[in-house]
Structure 1
Amino acid sequence: MRQTKAPGDTTLAVELRGVRRRYGRGARTVNALAGIDLALPRGTFTAVMGPSGSGKSTFLQCAAGLDRPSEGSVRLGGTEITGMNENELTELRRGRLGFVFQAFNLLPSLTVEQNVLLPLRLAGQRQDRRRAAEVLGKVGLADKARRRPGELSGGQQQRVAVARALVTNPDVIFADEPTGALDTGTAAEVLGLLRQAVDGLGATVVMVTHDPVAAAWADRVLFLADGAFADSLERGSPARIAARMAALGAGNFRSGVMAGAAA
């Protein structure tokens, strides 16, 4: 895999410079991302919020190498990924990134242990059952390794997804509405696991969410509007985050890249 690093960037987990993403041509062009500059240090928990159509999903896909920006540069763990081919991107995602989705995305025919070990299997690495037991223990499912996903509650399935995201010790965990299908109490448990991964394991989490309560677990909340960051909030309460979102929806933020988004 291509490993392109620049001096002094190794403390950054995610770095986007001048990232734009356009869909369509001519009069039908949609500017989903209108110039993103962002630098996220390792060991941080960042939430990304914004109104429907603000570019949240596109941001996550470009930052995680699931989509290619029309312009700009994306680095993950100091590695420039913008020019990678599909095989290189697949290898990077399998070995250095973790993903947690709203729909869990577990394979029903596999056991919990096999689902957790799937990233290692796909990456051609040794199936380390002790590693699976370790991460399942961290998410409180040490006794569920032999179960199938269908035998677990929704919250337990999302815990399995978190364990799967942790198993490779990834540079970054990308979470897309990870609590969207969960009740309030179960959501808090899953968010607590992501928070613990940052505080206890030094993981980096980037989470897209519409929920101010979920965003309040993050170190920092970034607000997207019209494909650009409009504001940020450090360690905000759910009420403060909701108020910022309401103001954003009312168009009370200045457009453009927020001050301080770029390190």
Structure 2
Amino acid sequence: MRARSSKRRTAVGRPEATAGTPGLAVELRGVRRQYGRGGNTVHALAGVDAALPRGTFTAIMGPSGSGKSTFLQSAAGLDRPTAGAVFLGGTDITGLSEDELTELRRDRIGFVFQSFNLLPSLTVEQNVLLPTRLAGQRQDRRRAAAVLAQVGLADKGRRRPGELSGGQQQRVAIARALVTAPDVIFADEPTGALDTRTAADVLGLLRQAVDTLGATVVMVTHDPAAAAWADRVLFLADGSFAGGLERASAEQIATRMTALTAVAAGGARPGAMAGAAA
């Protein structure tokens, strides 16, 4: 993965950051994100630290309003933290300009969303190659064919998204995320619109991308069965990490989620487990 370590302007509330930790695909240091002011202030993230190694599959879970979406948006450069630093592949992205962030997301990050986000007027092949087209790069049809073969759609390149099932469309989205060989693939509820069997197929592809291609996957999900495909599950509660599980079963994950949800419903703040995200 490409690591860049130039000094840049920094976000308000933090000193100029040093280079990221070697071996980490994603690193958050003391990241805070708040919305509103005064009595209406909402602390979506309350000083989060996270260290996600390259070539791993991490699931992020938590009760509704725990900060999952804000974590993903901050880590992917879609939202700027109020304070703290975010590193992607060793690069401090917190102080990048909007143009630099756009370039970084296009070249070094892959996205997989619940709603697929495919362009219906383009063919499957054209959808897969869209990131390189937007970057003004040569359209490598052999590369598109290769990633489509990896996701089991070798014969679908000339089809339109509307001619495919939901599961096949999500496979196209995964192929699009893989085409640039990104530093990280961020997946936001990638199986939320799929049935159980199709969801398992899609999660198997993300797992395969990690195990055989060395990809790094960070997935936000509410589904314990989906999270069980990950190497590690990190739990957010009230904007802070509240523990983690390694190679856990769906049952173990569901039990932890039930406990966190009960605490959140009672209005108490769970104690953050030291080192949970390290």
For the residues of structure 2 that align with 1:79 and 1:261, how far apart are their CA atoms?
23
What SS does the corresponding residue of 1:161 show, helix, strand or coil?
A: helix
Query: Is residue 2:95 matched to residue 1:83?
Result: yes
- Correspondence for 1:210 among 210, 219, 222: 222
Contact 1:35 1:257 in 2 (8 A): no
For the residues of structure 2 that align with 1:44 and 1:3, how far apart are their CA atoms?
21
For the residues of structure 1 that align with 2:141 and 2:119, how far apart are their CA atoms?
18
Query: Is residue 2:267 matched to residue 1:255?
Result: no
Map residues 139-150 of structure 1 onto 2, 5 A cutoff.
139-150=151-162
State TM-score, norm by structure 1. 0.96
Match of 1:201 in 2: 213
Query: Is residue 2:130 matched to residue 1:115?
Result: no
What is the Cα deviation at residue 125 of structure 1? 1.5
Match of 1:19 in 2: 31
What is the Cα deviation at residue 8 of structure 1? 7.3
What SS does the corresponding residue of 1:251 show, helix, strand or coil?
A: helix
Gaps of 5+ in 2: 7-17
Query: Is residue 2:83 matched to residue 1:71?
Result: yes
Contact 2:242 2:271 in 1 (8 A): yes
Match of 1:56 in 2: 68
Identity of aligned residues (%): 79
What SS does the corresponding residue of 2:202 show, helix, strand or coil?
A: helix
Map residues 25-40 of structure 1 onto 2, 5 A cutoff.
25-40=37-52
Contact 2:67 2:239 in 1 (8 A): yes
Gaps of 5+ in 1: none
Query: Is residue 2:181 matched to residue 1:169?
Result: yes
What SS does the corresponding residue of 2:94 show, helix, strand or coil?
A: coil
Query: Is residue 2:239 matched to residue 1:227?
Result: yes
Aligned residues: 262
Deviations 1:86-140 (A, max 9, x none): 0000000000000000000000000000000001111121110000000000000
Match of 1:243 in 2: 255
Give every structure 1 segment of 4 or more consecutive aligned residues whose post-TM-superposition deviation is greater than 6 Å: none
Match of 1:3 in 2: 4
Contact 1:229 1:257 in 2 (8 A): yes
For the residues of structure 1 that align with 2:95 and 2:152, how far apart are their CA atoms?
39
Contact 1:37 1:257 in 2 (8 A): no
- Correspondence for 1:131 among 143, 146, 156: 143
What is the Cα deviation at residue 51 of structure 1? 0.5
The 1:105–1:231 alpha-carbon spacing in structure 2 relative to 1, beyond 3 Å, is same
What is the Cα deviation at residue 250 of structure 1? 1.7
What SS does the corresponding residue of 1:126 show, helix, strand or coil?
A: coil
Contact 2:20 2:92 in 1 (8 A): no
Deviations 1:17-51 (A, max 9, x none): 00000000011000000110011100000000000
What SS does the corresponding residue of 2:111 show, helix, strand or coil?
A: strand
What is the Cα deviation at residue 255 of structure 1? 3.2
- Correspondence for 1:160 among 172, 182, 205: 172
Match of 2:110 in 1: 98
Contact 1:215 1:221 in 2 (8 A): yes
For the residues of structure 1 that align with 2:20 and 2:139, how far apart are their CA atoms?
34
Contact 1:19 1:33 in 2 (8 A): yes
